[in-house]
Amino acid sequence: MITSLTAEKLAVQRGSRRLAENLGFTVKAGQALALEGANGSGKTSLLRLIAGFLPAAAGRVTLTDDGREISDPEERGRFVGWLGHHDALKASFTVSEQLAFFGKLYNAPSAGSIAGDASGASPVTTGEEKRMALLDQAHLLEQIGLARQAELPCRYLSAGQRRRLALARLLLTQRPLWLLDEPFAALDVAGKGLVARLIALHCGQGGMVIAATHEELGLGNEVLRL
Amino acid sequence: MNFDMSPYGAFIWPAYGLSALLLGSFTLWTIARWRAAKAKLASLEQK
Amino acid sequence: MTPFLALLSRDLRLSVREGGGAALALVFFALVATLVPLGVGSDLALLAKVGSGVLWVGAALAALLSLDRLFQADYEDGSLDLIALSPLSLEGTAAAKILAHWLSIGLPLTLFSPILSVFFGLSAPTVMALTLSLAIGTPAVSAVGAILASLTLSVRRGGLILPLLVLPLLVPVVIFGAGMAVEVQTGLANGAPRFLLAFSLGATLLSPFITAMAVRLNLAG
Amino acid sequence: MFDWLFRYANPARFMGLTTTLLPWLSGAAVLALAAGLYLGFSAPPDYQQGRTVLILFIHVPAAIMSTMVYGCIVVASLFSLVNRHILADVAARTAAPLGAIFTLLALATGSLWGRPMWGVWWVWGDARLTSTLVQFFLYLGYIALWGAIEDETRAARICAVLALVGAVNIPIIKYSVEWWATLHQGESIMSGKLAGVFLTPWLVMMLFYVLLFVCLWLVRIRTMILERRIRSLMQGAS
């Protein structure tokens, strides 16, 4: 179980440009951190650094897993649920093919075993949470509002629907540390409400969220300004 | 020194000419670029 | 193994659905085999002499057609980020993509070559040797190509620069590959099969590691 | 192990060191050129090649430089990947056009030497000429890749990998081309060899080529360091 993510004296550098320096923060299980800043302030680069893509120019990021400290970037990446700028969808794949591929790629447990795993890992209390724990693909699509589009190739999806599919994939991968880049982008009011609910739920189950956003995450969350 | 190249002058002179041309112009260009950079830096540092 | 197979089957399906797959490469290959006789004349003795070399060059060029999209498509739409975070290592990712490229391009080209060799009046043993040499050599084309495709994955017009980078490195494959057909034609053992096999093995074994390194460098940008 | 090198890898120190070195090096280059030309043009005609040996005095050094410069790029690329030092990036990048020019000259002078010797401008059977041609394409690809990647730091790493992949491949390419030349042409062809009397003029010309390369390389590195400084000054001003 992931318990905390700590950044110490972190410097973010992209190419030859130093974007941010001396950053320090800690996110604990169940917490959400919002990254704020103008365009080009390094929000995306910081997320990429935490995900392990971008090496830190200075300082370090440590993830604590059951008391074990993980500082290897690629190992850290195995805990990351990623929602980037791009939706990472293939035009010719249907919604369900898309999810099936990522499910297999991420070794996501199949429907039956997930229910057991999730309820074992964290006590299921409310009905809403119980439904979320049943990460069956059909349930998942219903939850995310894409049930009718299941067999539709992604090229026919609207921008908002593409974003919802990306969210469904985020849930499917079952990663404890969510890194979200502008999660509210391209979504309508209902969609934004969904994102806020999912984040709250993820935190409620002991997950961690770091999101680059202009808007409230819908939690009494902490804010880091870049 | 002997500059009589017969019967191969048509090959020897072009070989030397081409080498001189390429290496010479590259050298001149390199020096010109160095001078330009130096002048530019000097004018920037004055401001 | 599941993540590996998932990526492999996805790439194979993509190559069929989103164009740039076998069909395009085969048509290109056939066009090269048509244009060369039109260019050099109908003398069958001459065509038989140059045929295996022409087919090898044609196959190598055809395999490069869609190579630039091998990593670039996934890089541009963000898929590569998600693949990099998956349990599959980048080395595994590279191996899956090389294998997918070979299965979708190299293998069809190999199987198609006996048909095209009709245009050049090649003898049956020569055709056998040529097909075998393509079977051994095309994995090396995919492997070497993958290294350079991963190096150029962020280059906006990578498709233009890629052949310039790949083709000089493919000189040994073409030489030894066509050399296998020469061995049959002249009847003199020249060692081409051994060299081709060695190059192909070396390239396919090393390529996933170099490719993964290049992907890592690009994701950090 | 490379401590002494890193002392001078600091751009400011590098500038200081090269400022004192360059006048001496360029003076030596001019002397070597004068001496090399004098000795070369005074050399007697070869009993077989006549005065075309004069071409070999500039062809062979260019061909050797073609390989040597690539070696310099490979070493700089290793430092670029392992130590991520900016000077290594700049060194690798600036050496490439020089290497391409030497390679082009080796090809052109080789062809000009071959025409009277072989009767044709290009002989595929000469493995060295063929692999030099491939080497030229490798240089062009390397230079093109540098130009194609916008971010300089990324371009440096990516091109370093390309240089190393090329370095692994060059011996294989050379071997395959030699193998191919013997496969397709049984008889041996006359290749450029130098008899003893011609050794001194050739060595002096070789020295000139090395000195010229070092001088031009250093000046280009210095220029690029200044250009980077100019860019960062302009970025700061805006």
Query: Are A62 and A11 members of one domain?
Result: yes
Query: Are A3 and A67 members of one domain?
Result: yes
Poorest-pLDDT segment among A109-113, D130-134, D158-162: A109-113
Q: What strands, in cross-sheet order, belong to the sheet with A177-181?
A: A80-83, A177-181, A208-212, A32-36, A222-225
With beta carbons under 8 A apart, name residues in chain A contacting D154. Answer: 15
Here the tokens at position D60 are 């062979």
- What's the pLDDT band for D29 if we cut at 50, 70, 90? very high
State mean pLDDT over A7-24: 87
Interface C:D, Cβ pairs < 8 A: 81
Domain boundary among A175, A196, A215: A175
- Which pLDDT does position A111 carry in this prediction? 41
Q: Number of structural domains, chain C?
A: 1
With beta carbons under 8 A apart, name residues in chain B contacting D216. Answer: 26-27, 30
User: What domain range includes position A159?
Assistant: 89-175
- Which pLDDT does position D2 carry in this prediction? 62
State mean pLDDT over D156-170: 96
Residue A197: inside a domain: yes
Exposure string of D208-222, with b = 16+ CB inside 10 Å and e = fewer, is: bbbbbbbbbbbbbbb
The pLDDT mean for chain D works out to 89
- What's the pLDDT band for A114 if we cut at 50, 70, 90? very low
Residues of chain C with pLDDT under 50: none
Q: How far is C134 from chain D (nearest CA, A)?
A: 17
For residue D234, is pLDDT > 90?
no
CB of B15 closer than 8 Å to CB of D112: yes
CB atoms within 10 A of CB D124: 14
With beta carbons under 8 A apart, name residues in chain C contacting A92. Answer: 14, 17-18
Neighbors of chain B with 3 or more C-beta pairs under 8 Å: D
Query: Are A161 and A189 members of one domain?
Result: no
Residue D91: inside a domain: yes
With beta carbons under 8 A apart, name residues in chain D contacting B31. Answer: 219
Compute the CA torsion angle D15, D20, D24, D27 (nearest 10 deg): 70
Residue D216: inside a domain: yes
- Which pLDDT does position C30 carry in this prediction? 96
Cis peptide before B7 (omega within 30 of 0): yes
For residue A132, is pLDDT > 50?
no
Domain boundary among A175, A193, A211: A175
State mean pLDDT over A83-102: 92
Of D142, D18, D150, nearest in space to D77 by CA: D142
Residue D12: inside a domain: no
Q: Do C152 and D145 make contact, defined as CB atoms within 8 angstroms?
A: yes
Query: Are A73 and A182 members of one domain?
Result: yes
State mean pLDDT over A92-109: 89
Residue D217: inside a domain: yes
Q: Is C131 on the interface with D (CB under 8 A)?
A: no
Residue bearing the bigger pLDDT, A120 or D60 = D60
CB of A195 closer than 8 Å to CB of A174: no
Touch of C by D (3+ CB pairs closer than 8 Å): yes
- Which pLDDT does position A131 carry in this prediction? 43
The pLDDT mean for chain A works out to 83
DSSP per position, chain C: -HHHHHHHHHHHHHHHHTSSSHHHHHHHHHHHHHHHHHHH-S-HHHHHHHHHHHHHHHHHHHHHTTTTHHHHHHHHTSHHHHHHHSSS-HHHHHHHHHHHHIIIIIHHHHHHHHHHGGGGT--HHHHHHHHHHHHHHHHHHHHHHHHHHHHTTT-TTHHHHHHHHHHHHTHHHHHHHHHHHHHHHH----SHHHHHHHHHHHHHHHHHHHHHHHHHHHHT-
Q: How far is C155 from chain D (nearest CA, A)?
A: 6
Q: Number of structural domains, chain A?
A: 2
- Which pLDDT does position D5 carry in this prediction? 67
Q: Number of structural domains, chain D?
A: 1
Query: Are A94 and A163 members of one domain?
Result: yes
User: What domain range includes position C46?
Assistant: 2-219
State mean pLDDT over D139-147: 96
With beta carbons under 8 A apart, name residues in chain D contacting B44. Answer: 230, 233-234, 237
State mean pLDDT over A110-122: 39
Residue D14: inside a domain: no
The enclosing domain of A192 has a CATH number of 3.40.50.300
Q: Tell me the pLDDT tens digit for each residue of A51-66.
A: 999 999 899 999 998 8
- Which pLDDT does position C91 carry in this prediction? 97
Q: C17: nearest CA in chain A?
A: A92
Name the phi and psi angles at C118, rounded to 5.
-60, -40
Of C155, C179, C195, the CB nearest to D149: C155
- Which pLDDT does position A27 carry in this prediction? 93
Residue D10: inside a domain: no
Percent of chain A beyond pLDDT 70?
87
Residue D5: inside a domain: no
User: What domain range includes position D188?
Assistant: 50-230
Query: Are A194 and A170 members of one domain?
Result: no
Q: Is D88 on the interface with B (CB under 8 A)?
A: no
Cβ burial, residue D52 (10 Å; 0-12/13-18/19+): buried
- Assign D204 to helix, strand or coil: helix
Residue A84: inside a domain: no
- Which pLDDT does position D158 carry in this prediction? 95
- What's the pLDDT band for D238 if we cut at 50, 70, 90? very low
